[in-house]
């Protein structure tokens, strides 16, 4: 029997680390002892492990992942006994190799021998859901089957990492067997989450929808007297939502519907998809709206307004979920696309901090969060962080004083002022830097009173 440690770095993660859960099942079947942890723990570090597996997620979390690897490296006899895999390791393996000595696993672990000589593929291994009981981290959604019916995508969008992670689009034919085995080991689960990147592109999608119904997730289905849900969590392709497909989706408990409004060019297909899905009875949408790629703030504002208009037109609720584009080789989340400005991106971050990351379609909510017009939208994004996040606290006095000063700026001086804010953001000594820009002294005092950074 070997001692195996599975570690997820303590970054914010929504879904369970399914790769680690499959590895747990694999080792437990061999009779090994498996321990799971999030982050760095001294007691685990001071133990001896035959193997340690560490997962990775977003590339901008790779510095944290490397620190986690370094922390546990002393706990194995040889560096090669510490294995790192996942999205970040696949996209930027050399970043890890430059900073720490370990075994880096690139790509999906769907072939024999990738985890070492004699080690089988993980493709058909059922996740060890019991492992989640050993952590207090609140993974969502709980009590769910996590499956995939396909891998890869038929699209080759330049902003997407899927073509690098899974270059070929293909089908998984064993997802129902995975559900069956999960039932046998862990009991019936309430909901079904499908992690496909583009499930509607599958030429067998009608069979998949039929099988979802047969697994107990037909429209109106309940378990433990609660309504069950099917979540195509990575979204469905609006361009593939035909009237027939909308009708087929209405036969399962799909909730919510997730579409992507990534750029202006898909607006026609997006509007049509929402109309077709609304016509067959769908009322709850949570749709992704990407920004900071080839768009502008005006494009983002208009696309969010489209969601509000469609909600009113079809009597549905389209909750927008703005997603900031980050290049797949970025480790600092500092990228600013040519159409954006650092302060506007920072402003969006502050607005979403106040709204919980989503944009509700009601007129009052939208106007309060983003403004009645595009000009007001830009003004909100330009405000000091605390004035955006704590609008009620500062709205009556401080924000009014700031607004008077800001509106005195001409178009050219406003651009210059935003550049000053960007330079101050990257400066340690704010007080000295502010002395170089005396023409903006009163305004800058709202952002950095007496040259200090305020944190609330």
Picking from 104, 132, 161, the residue at the C-terminal end of a domain is: 104
Residue 328 and residue 215 share a domain: no
CA pair distance 217, 406, nearest whole angstrom: 54
Residue 262 and residue 226 share a domain: no
Residue 147 and residue 249 share a domain: yes
DSSP character at residue 50: S
CA pair distance 340, 291, nearest whole angstrom: 9
CA pair distance 192, 128, nearest whole angstrom: 16
Residue 349 and residue 268 share a domain: yes
Number of domains the chain is built from: 4
**Reported confidence tier of residue 404, pLDDT bands at 50, 70, 90:** very high
Q: CATH code at 66?
A: 3.40.50.280
Residue 262 and residue 249 share a domain: no
Helices (H), 204-254: 205-212, 243-249
Q: CATH code at 183?
A: 3.30.750.210
| Cβ atoms of residues 147 and 314 within 8 Å | no
Output the pLDDT for position 426: 86
CA pair distance 410, 399, nearest whole angstrom: 19
**Reported confidence tier of residue 363, pLDDT bands at 50, 70, 90:** confident
| Cβ atoms of residues 175 and 149 within 8 Å | yes
Taking the whole predicted model, whether its pTM rises above 0.75 is answered as yes
With respect to residue 370, please indicate whether it lies within any of the assigned structural domains. Answer: yes
Residue 63 and residue 181 share a domain: no
With respect to residue 86, please indicate whether it lies within any of the assigned structural domains. Answer: yes
Beta bridge partners of 5: 35, 52
With respect to residue 353, please indicate whether it lies within any of the assigned structural domains. Answer: yes
Once rounded to an integer, what is the mean pLDDT over residues 348-371? 92
CA pair distance 107, 87, nearest whole angstrom: 8
Residue 440 and residue 353 share a domain: no
Residue 373 and residue 294 share a domain: yes
Phi, psi of 192 (to 5 degrees): -125, 125
CA pair distance 321, 3, nearest whole angstrom: 42
With respect to residue 378, please indicate whether it lies within any of the assigned structural domains. Answer: yes
Once rounded to an integer, what is the mean pLDDT over residues 117-127? 92
Helix (H) or strand (E) holding 82: strand 82-86
Q: Which two tokens stand for residue 84?
A: 């790192």
CA pair distance 271, 302, nearest whole angstrom: 13
Weakest-pLDDT range from 53-57, 257-261, 390-394, 412-416: 390-394
Q: Is a pLDDT exceeding 70 seen at residue 456?
A: no
CA pair distance 280, 168, nearest whole angstrom: 33
Residue 373 and residue 409 share a domain: no
Residue 262 and residue 375 share a domain: yes
Over residues 41-96, the pLDDT tens digits come to 999 999 999 999 999 999 999 999 999 999 999 999 999 999 999 999 999 999 99
**Reported confidence tier of residue 394, pLDDT bands at 50, 70, 90:** confident
With respect to residue 393, please indicate whether it lies within any of the assigned structural domains. Answer: no
Q: At what angle do helices 297-314 and 267-279 cross, to 10 degrees?
A: 20
**Reported confidence tier of residue 396, pLDDT bands at 50, 70, 90:** confident
CA pair distance 439, 417, nearest whole angstrom: 10
Q: What is the mean pLDDT of the chain?
A: 95
Q: Is a pLDDT exceeding 70 seen at residue 442?
A: yes
With respect to residue 391, please indicate whether it lies within any of the assigned structural domains. Answer: no
With respect to residue 33, please indicate whether it lies within any of the assigned structural domains. Answer: yes
Over residues 271-319, the pLDDT tens digits come to 999 999 999 999 999 999 999 999 999 999 999 999 999 999 999 999 9
Q: Is a pLDDT exceeding 70 seen at residue 380?
A: yes
Over residues 128-181, the pLDDT tens digits come to 999 998 899 999 888 999 999 999 999 999 999 999 999 999 998 899 999 999
With respect to residue 372, please indicate whether it lies within any of the assigned structural domains. Answer: yes
CB-based contacts of 51: which residues, under 8 Å, 6+ apart?
A: 2, 4, 5, 76, 81, 82, 83
Indicate the SS3 state at residue 86. strand
| Cβ atoms of residues 446 and 401 within 8 Å | yes
CA pair distance 421, 448, nearest whole angstrom: 10
Residue 270 and residue 231 share a domain: no
Residue 375 and residue 303 share a domain: yes
CB-based contacts of 317: which residues, under 8 Å, 6+ apart?
A: 283, 284, 285, 311, 360, 361
Once rounded to an integer, what is the mean pLDDT over residues 404-414? 96
Picking from 333, 355, 382, the residue at the C-terminal end of a domain is: 382
Q: Is a pLDDT exceeding 80 seen at residue 323?
A: yes
| Cβ atoms of residues 278 and 312 within 8 Å | no
The string of DSSP codes covering 434-455 is HTT-GGGHHHHHHHSGGGPPP-
Indicate the SS3 state at residue 59. helix
Range of the domain at 431: 398-451
């Amino acid at each position: 029997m070997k001692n195996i440690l599975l570690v997820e770095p303590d970054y914010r993660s929504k879904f369970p680390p399914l790769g680690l859960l499959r590895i747990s099942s694999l080792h437990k079947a061999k009779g090994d002892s498996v321990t799971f942890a999030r982050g760095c723990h001294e007691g685990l570090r001071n133990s001896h492990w035959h193997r340690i597996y560490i997962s990775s997620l977003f590339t901008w979390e790779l510095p944290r992942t490397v620190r986690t690897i370094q922390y546990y490296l002393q706990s194995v006899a040889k560096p090669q006994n510490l294995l790192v895999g996942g999205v970040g390791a696949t996209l930027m393996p050399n970043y890890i190799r430059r900073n720490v000595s370990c075994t880096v696993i690139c790509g999906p672990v769907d072939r024999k021998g990738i985890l070492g000589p004699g080690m089988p593929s993980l493709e058909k291994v059922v996740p060890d859901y019991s492992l989640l009981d050993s952590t207090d981290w609140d993974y969502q959604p709980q009590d769910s089957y996590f499956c995939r019916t396909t891998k890869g995508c038929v699209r080759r969008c330049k902003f997407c990492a899927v073509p690098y992670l899974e270059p070929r689009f293909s089908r998984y034919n064993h997802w129902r067997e995975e559900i069956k085995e999960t039932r046998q080991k862990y009991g019936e689960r309430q909901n079904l989450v499908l992690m496909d990147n583009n499930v509607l592109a599958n030429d067998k999608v009608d069979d998949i929808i039929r099988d979802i119904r047969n697994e107990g997730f037909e429209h109106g289905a309940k378990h433990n007297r609660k309504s069950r849900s099917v979540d195509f969590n990575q979204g469905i392709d609006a361009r593939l939502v035909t009237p027939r497909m909308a009708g087929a989706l209405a036969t399962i408990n799909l909730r919510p519907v997730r579409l992507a409004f990534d750029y202006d060019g898909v607006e026609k297909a997006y509007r049509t998809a929402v109309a077709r899905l609304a016509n067959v009875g769908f009322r709850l949408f949570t749709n992704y709206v990407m920004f900071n790629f080839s768009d502008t703030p005006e494009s983002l504002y208009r696309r969010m307004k489209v969601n509000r208009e469609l909600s009113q037109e079809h009597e549905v609720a389209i909750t927008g979920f703005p997603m900031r584009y980050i290049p797949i080789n970025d480790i600092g989340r500092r990228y600013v696309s040519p159409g954006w400005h650092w302060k506007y991106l920072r402003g969006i971050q502050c607005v979403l901090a106040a709204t919980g990351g989503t944009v509700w379609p009601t007129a009052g909510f939208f106007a309060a969060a983003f403004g009645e017009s595009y000009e007001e939208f830009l003004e909100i994004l330009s405000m000091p962080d605390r004035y955006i996040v704590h609008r009620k606290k500062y709205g009556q006095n401080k924000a009014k004083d700031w607004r008077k000063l800001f509106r005195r700026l001409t178009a050219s001086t406003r651009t210059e002022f935003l550049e000053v804010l960007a330079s101050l953001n990257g400066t340690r000594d704010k007080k000295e830097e502010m002395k170089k820009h005396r023409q903006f002294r009163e305004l800058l005092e709202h952002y950095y009173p007496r040259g200090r950074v305020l944190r609330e």
